[in-house]
Amino acid sequence: MLKITIWNEFLHERQNPVVTAIYPDGIHKALEKNLGPYFAPQEATFTTATLDQPEHGLSEERLANTEVLLWWGHLAHDQVSDAIVERVQQRVLNGMGLIVLHSGHASKIFRRLMGTGCMLRWREAAELERLWVVKPGHPITDGLAADYFEIPAAEMYGEHFDIPDPDELIFISWFQGGEVFRSGCTFHRGKGKIFYFRPGHETYPIYHQREVLLVLANAIRWAKPCGSNYTHDARHVPQPLNPWN
Amino acid sequence: MLKITIWNEFLHERQNPVVTAIYPDGIHKALEKNLGPYFAPQEATFTTATLDQPEHGLSEERLANTEVLLWWGHLAHDQVSDAIVERVQQRVLNGMGLIVLHSGHASKIFRRLMGTGCMLRWREAAELERLWVVKPGHPITDGLAADYFEIPAAEMYGEHFDIPDPDELIFISWFQGGEVFRSGCTFHRGKGKIFYFRPGHETYPIYHQREVLLVLANAIRWAKPCGSNYTHDARHVPQPLNPWN
Amino acid sequence: MLKITIWNEFLHERQNPVVTAIYPDGIHKALEKNLGPYFAPQEATFTTATLDQPEHGLSEERLANTEVLLWWGHLAHDQVSDAIVERVQQRVLNGMGLIVLHSGHASKIFRRLMGTGCMLRWREAAELERLWVVKPGHPITDGLAADYFEIPAAEMYGEHFDIPDPDELIFISWFQGGEVFRSGCTFHRGKGKIFYFRPGHETYPIYHQREVLLVLANAIRWAKPCGSNYTHDARHVPQPLNPWN
Amino acid sequence: MLKITIWNEFLHERQNPVVTAIYPDGIHKALEKNLGPYFAPQEATFTTATLDQPEHGLSEERLANTEVLLWWGHLAHDQVSDAIVERVQQRVLNGMGLIVLHSGHASKIFRRLMGTGCMLRWREAAELERLWVVKPGHPITDGLAADYFEIPAAEMYGEHFDIPDPDELIFISWFQGGEVFRSGCTFHRGKGKIFYFRPGHETYPIYHQREVLLVLANAIRWAKPCGSNYTHDARHVPQPLNPWN
């Protein structure tokens, strides 16, 4: 069973009635409920965690039992404790998958893993977004019916998006108002896989949309830990190999 | 069931008693037999094809029923018909996985997909090869016990290996005699995934070695077709979207 | 002096009065004339070559004296001889820079170097194109005044563009009609640098536009041959190094 | 004139007579002196800075007047102030080139820009290192006479090197004792170019070796600031473009 934790700062939903109407129990609970049907029985198990919990809900034990972590934050990036950010980073380097959602681009954990500012242009004008698939054979696009899908009303994010070149660029968004954006990007840090996915503004029902959920379910499977049994220790290896004797 | 075809030129094994002793039924049959145990029952089905068969065993129907193709060739690259190479290329662009083995670096199909000469240095001196994992979280390395594995006697391949920069570099080989080599490389062409894997010289029992088989089984799973339902047609799209009306 | 050759099939300009009006002496001559001022005196020397010349103007001697080749073609890709394509490919692998313009995406030389179909969506609707800079520290963007520039009337090219993942993605185009496109891409093949640049449809005066010329001049400088004195020969190296004795 | 600053912690040279003998005035002064002849008159100007200076010699003014910064540290990474590290990072994001030398892999600035641990295996056994060129057309390799060069006695660094996949892999080292290492790697962060170069252990005269100096001079030229006039601000852009009216 793939162990998934959905982290949410859970503030907008308790402050803004527009958001409450869309996500009455919070974005984290909506994602948990909506993603469930995209997994087979016994394939995945979900937990949620929020900013206001002790250790933001991300204790050592919780992270040790998380294989893929989803991260949604916006208003309160600065309230996330540096110690927890450090803990999440180490867990990623040791193999945990991390899916950074929408305004999570400016979260401490994403910026720390990227090494850059991760800023961008933005505008809230309920405009049309078209996400074009630029890597159509990638597992994260599995099952999408066509070469793009649309979000009818979205916040705009535009380039330049100040990230390192992604390891793989999966989606590029077109916005009605004249901008483009690298909306689906993969990165690898240590043994961990990271997927940044742009859609998800709190005032639009984006996490109720089928294509968005399909992409997230694909990304969760893609990000699950795997690989060699290597661990990230620095190692002094005093003896050279002498294959000639 | 994942449909796998193993292609082999099948010449060395019928010409050189040293090779016959290691691969009495051919490299293709040895791979088929040795890879089987790395898959669950009902997970995969294997077929083989060889140069001397009609259409080199790669009819339209056979390719349509192949999800991952393994390719071993050395002496007779030039005898592979251009029409079949074209057919394999189109099948890769439309999603079939391709695993190119050892001396397949100089095959028509690999050179055509790469666009470069794909040549390298080489030496046959039965020397020690160590394959270092440089991407330890990659699914192709899944289950390897340590950060390297060794092949006790190998033909040397050395840089410069004239390929495009790989999309992912998984293994780098160290050779006793002073060379290094990018031994495990992934590429994407169209919707197809390609893995080049260096080990496999015909005069050493390399396709009987556990780590080599584990990597190949991982690579086969990694290379299976997936992704969006996009097909590679050129498309004239006369009508622009006018989202403002 | 950097030696630049501009190749053009030179057909539209002699067949279509709209094109003749914009490029009376051909796209090649317009580029030669318009790019000149972007180089210092004694920095660069230009020559042109066209399809109807012997060997398409690309003799062994001409190519040996070309450090960067620009390529514009559209109607007559199939009329370019395979032998000349092979010659250009080998020259690229040995270090010559290649700049592929607009409809050159479907040229034999580009498809051969990419290994893919290189096809895309298209529409002629004289629509607005905005080229966003996604790699703002790259020398090809040197001197651009802002994070995008516009072409007021362009043919649309849209994703999916069937190329290998570019080594560097420099520009993404936004089109009024709803599409995006990876408009400025670098590739390396052998020792040669390749830049694909989308703008340049024959019925619009795009090669008279300042930003387009600036990008091309930057790309020419970026693509000039450099590097180690390595040559692409396959090499049998019989003697191992034994550093232990 | 290209403005270069060479930063060195400058401790080994004052503590260990072996190092003092090789670098009597410090690694920074040796680099300054030895790199000079690789630049034309009026091409470059050098300054040095060390840990023990106020602000480690990296005042706002000094950094504003630095186009490429070289960084050598080993014993005292933790003594570099976080405020200065932050300042250097911001300067890199805004375009300054950064060349990280040898044990600088574990420096605060490199780890912060990479987002990973940046650790590796190591051994001091004065063994032979061969640096193989794997990207022979790259400007950083310009002028190297062959496809590899050797350092007769080196500290070993081995994989796995815990860095993000480099944007470009230029050199792979072979070590006598059985390891390989990605010894020359480029990265881009913001508008800044970064080159990590492995050679340079303090107890061997590596920064007196011709090939090493040639590579560093090439890397300095490659890393100089360039590109569009974009600056890394987050930008709220309230007005969409409406190209249809």
Is some CB atom of chain C closer than 8 A to the CB atom of D190? yes
Please give the pLDDT value at position A245. Answer: 65
Q: Nearest CA of chain B to the CA of A225: how many Å? A: 7
Backbone angles phi, psi at C136, to 5 degrees: -70, -15
Q: Using the beta-carbon criterion (under 8 Å), do A245 and C244 form an inter-chain contact?
A: yes
Residues of chain A contacting C175 with CB distance shorter than 8 Å: 174
Nearest residue on chain C to A146, alpha-carbon basis: C160
Nearest residue on chain B to A233, alpha-carbon basis: B147
* Residues contacting residue A62 through CB under 8 Å, at least 6 positions apart: A5, A47, A49, A55
Residues of chain C contacting B191 with CB distance shorter than 8 Å: none
Please give the pLDDT value at position B238. Answer: 86
Query: CATH second-level architecture of D2-118+183-223?
Result: 3-Layer(aba) Sandwich (3.40)
A95, A225 Cβ separation under 8 angstroms: yes
Residues of chain C contacting A182 with CB distance shorter than 8 Å: 134, 172
* Residues contacting residue C139 through CB under 8 Å, at least 6 positions apart: C218, C221, C222, D226, D227
Residues of chain D contacting B147 with CB distance shorter than 8 Å: 159-160
Whole-number Å distance between alpha carbons of A176 and A154: 10
* Residues contacting residue B171 through CB under 8 Å, at least 6 positions apart: B131, B132, B133, B134, B182, B183, B184, B197, B198
Whole-number Å distance between alpha carbons of A221 and B139: 12
Q: Which two tokens stand for residue C229?
A: 């004195």
Please give the pLDDT value at position A230. Answer: 75
Is some CB atom of chain B closer than 8 A to the CB atom of D182? yes
Strands C180-189 and C192-197: antiparallel
DSSP H or E run through A89: helix A82-93
Secondary structure of chain D as H, E, C letters: CEEEEEEECCCHHHHCHHHHHHCCCCHHHHHHHHHHHHCCCCCEEEEEEECCCHHHHCCHHHHHCCCEEEEECCCCHHHCCHHHHHHHHHHHHCCCEEEEEHHHHHCHHHHHHHCCCCCCEEEEEEEEEEEEECCCCCHHHCCCCCCEEEEEEEEEEECCCCCCCCCEEEEEEEECCCCEEEEEEEEEECCEEEEEECCCCCCCCHHHCHHHHHHHHHHHHHHCCCCCCCCCCCEECCCCCCCCC
Percent of chain D with pLDDT over 70: 99
> DSSP of chain C, one letter per residue?
-EEEEEEE---HHHH-HHHHHH-TT-HHHHHHHHHGGGS-TTTEEEEEEETTSGGGG--HHHHHT-SEEEEE-SS-GGGS-HHHHHHHHHHHHTT-EEEEEGGGGGSHHHHHHH-S----EEEEEEEEEEEEES-TTSGGGTT-SSSEEEEEEEEEEESPP-SPPPSEEEEEEEETTS-EEEEEEEEEETTEEEEEE----TTTTGGG-HHHHHHHHHHHHHHS--S-S-----EE--PPP-TT-
Residues of chain A contacting D175 with CB distance shorter than 8 Å: 240
Q: Using the beta-carbon criterion (under 8 Å), do A137 and B229 form an inter-chain contact?
A: no
Q: Using the beta-carbon criterion (under 8 Å), do B164 and C189 form an inter-chain contact?
A: yes
Q: Which chains lie within 8 Å of chain D at 3 or more CB pairs, if any?
A: A, B, C
Q: Which two tokens stand for residue C116?
A: 């893919």
Q: Which of C208, C191, A130, C162 is nearest to B160 (CA)?
A: C191
Please give the pLDDT value at position A234. Answer: 72
Please give the pLDDT value at position C232. Answer: 65
Residue from D195, D228, D230, D235 to probe the interface with C (highest C Cβ count within 10 Å): D228
Q: Which chains lie within 8 Å of chain A at 3 or more CB pairs, if any?
A: B, C, D
Whole-number Å distance between alpha carbons of D84 and D58: 7
Helices (H), chain B: 12-15, 17-22, 27-35, 60-64, 82-93, 108-114, 210-223
Residues B117-161: tens digit of each pLDDT:
999 999 999 999 999 999 999 999 999 998 999 999 999 999 999
Residue from B128, B129, B130, B132 to probe the interface with D (highest D Cβ count within 10 Å): B132
Whole-number Å distance between alpha carbons of D231 and D190: 9
DSSP B215: H
Whole-number Å distance between alpha carbons of B124 and A244: 16
Residues of chain C contacting B123 with CB distance shorter than 8 Å: 236-240
Whether the CA torsion A13, A19, A22, A28 is positive or negative: it is: negative
Please give the pLDDT value at position A201. Answer: 97
Residues of chain C contacting A178 with CB distance shorter than 8 Å: 130, 174
Nearest to A134 among C132, C173, C182 (CB): C182
Backbone angles phi, psi at D91, to 5 degrees: -65, -40
Whole-number Å distance between alpha carbons of D135 and D141: 8
Residues D26-39: tens digit of each pLDDT:
999 999 999 999 99
Q: Which chains lie within 8 Å of chain C at 3 or more CB pairs, if any?
A: A, B, D
CB contact residues (below 8 A), chain B span 57-86, against chain A = none
Give the three-class secondary structure for A64: helix
Residues B49-105: tens digit of each pLDDT:
999 999 999 999 999 999 999 999 999 999 999 999 999 999 999 999 999 999 999
Whole-number Å distance between alpha carbons of D30 and D7: 12
- One pLDDT digit (tens) per residue for chain C, 245 residues: 999 999 999 999 999 999 999 999 999 999 999 999 999 999 999 999 999 999 999 999 999 999 999 999 999 999 999 999 999 999 999 999 999 999 999 999 999 999 999 999 999 999 999 999 999 999 999 999 989 999 999 999 999 999 999 999 999 999 999 999 999 999 999 999 999 999 999 999 999 999 999 999 999 999 999 999 877 667 888 888 888 76
Residue from D109, D110, D237 to probe the interface with A (highest A Cβ count within 10 Å): D237
Q: Nearest CA of chain D to the CA of B162: how many Å? A: 9
Q: Using the beta-carbon criterion (under 8 Å), do A121 and D178 form an inter-chain contact?
A: no
- CATH for C2-114+183-223 is 3.40.50.880
Give the three-class secondary structure for B132: strand
Q: Nearest CA of chain B to the CA of A171: how many Å? A: 12
Q: Using the beta-carbon criterion (under 8 Å), do C192 and D141 form an inter-chain contact?
A: no
Angle at C193 between CA C192 and CA C199, to 5 degrees: 140
**pLDDT at residue B235 greater than cutoff 90:** no
Is some CB atom of chain D closer than 8 A to the CB atom of C144? yes
Whole-number Å distance between alpha carbons of D122 and D103: 10
Q: Nearest CA of chain B to the CA of A54: how many Å? A: 31
Residues of chain D contacting A175 with CB distance shorter than 8 Å: 240
Per-residue pLDDT band for D242 (boundaries 50, 70, 90) equals confident
Q: Which residues pair with D133 in a beta bridge?
A: D171
Q: Using the beta-carbon criterion (under 8 Å), do B160 and D133 form an inter-chain contact?
A: yes
Q: Using the beta-carbon criterion (under 8 Å), do C146 and D191 form an inter-chain contact?
A: no
Whole-number Å distance between alpha carbons of A105 and A83: 19
Per-residue pLDDT band for B245 (boundaries 50, 70, 90) equals low
Residue from B138, B226, B235 to probe the interface with A (highest A Cβ count within 10 Å): B226
Residues C25-37: tens digit of each pLDDT:
999 999 999 999 9
Residues D134-179: tens digit of each pLDDT:
999 999 999 999 899 999 999 999 999 999 999 999 999 999 999 9
Q: What is the gyration radius of the CA atoms in chain C, in angstroms?
A: 19
The residue-averaged pLDDT of D220-236 equals 86
- The correct CATH number of A2-115+184-223 out of 3.90.1170.50, 1.10.8.50, 3.40.50.12280, 3.40.50.880 is 3.40.50.880
Q: Which residues pair with A70 in a beta bridge?
A: A6, A99
Q: Using the beta-carbon criterion (under 8 Å), do D141 and C227 form an inter-chain contact?
A: yes
**pLDDT at residue B232 greater than cutoff 80:** no
Percent of chain D with pLDDT over 90: 92
Whether the CA torsion B149, B137, B46, A137 is positive or negative: it is: negative
Q: Which chains lie within 8 Å of chain B at 3 or more CB pairs, if any?
A: A, C, D
Is some CB atom of chain C closer than 8 A to the CB atom of D178? no
Residues of chain D contacting A242 with CB distance shorter than 8 Å: 177
Which residue is associated with the tokens 């991260």?
Answer: A71
Q: State chain B's mean pLDDT as an integer.
A: 96
Alpha carbon of B21 to those of A8, B34, B213: distances in Å? 62, 16, 19
Q: Where are the domains of chain B?
A: 2-118+184-223
Given a cut of 50, the residues of chain A with pLDDT beneath it are: none
Is some CB atom of chain A closer than 8 A to the CB atom of B141? yes
Please give the pLDDT value at position D232. Answer: 66
Count Cβ–Cβ pairs < 8 Å, chain B vs chain D: 65
- Residue C201: is the preceding peptide bond cis (ω within 30°)? no
* Residues contacting residue B136 through CB under 8 Å, at least 6 positions apart: A191, A227, A228, A230, B147, D160
Is some CB atom of chain B closer than 8 A to the CB atom of A150? no
Nearest residue on chain B to A142, alpha-carbon basis: B227
Query: CATH second-level architecture of B2-118+184-223?
Result: 3-Layer(aba) Sandwich (3.40)
Whole-number Å distance between alpha carbons of D243 and B132: 54
Q: What is the pTM of this model?
A: 0.98
* Residues contacting residue B210 through CB under 8 Å, at least 6 positions apart: none
Per-residue pLDDT band for D241 (boundaries 50, 70, 90) equals confident
Q: Using the beta-carbon criterion (under 8 Å), do C160 and A168 form an inter-chain contact?
A: no
Residue from B237, B239, B241, B244 to probe the interface with C (highest C Cβ count within 10 Å): B237
Residue from D135, D141, D162, D172 to probe the interface with B (highest B Cβ count within 10 Å): D172
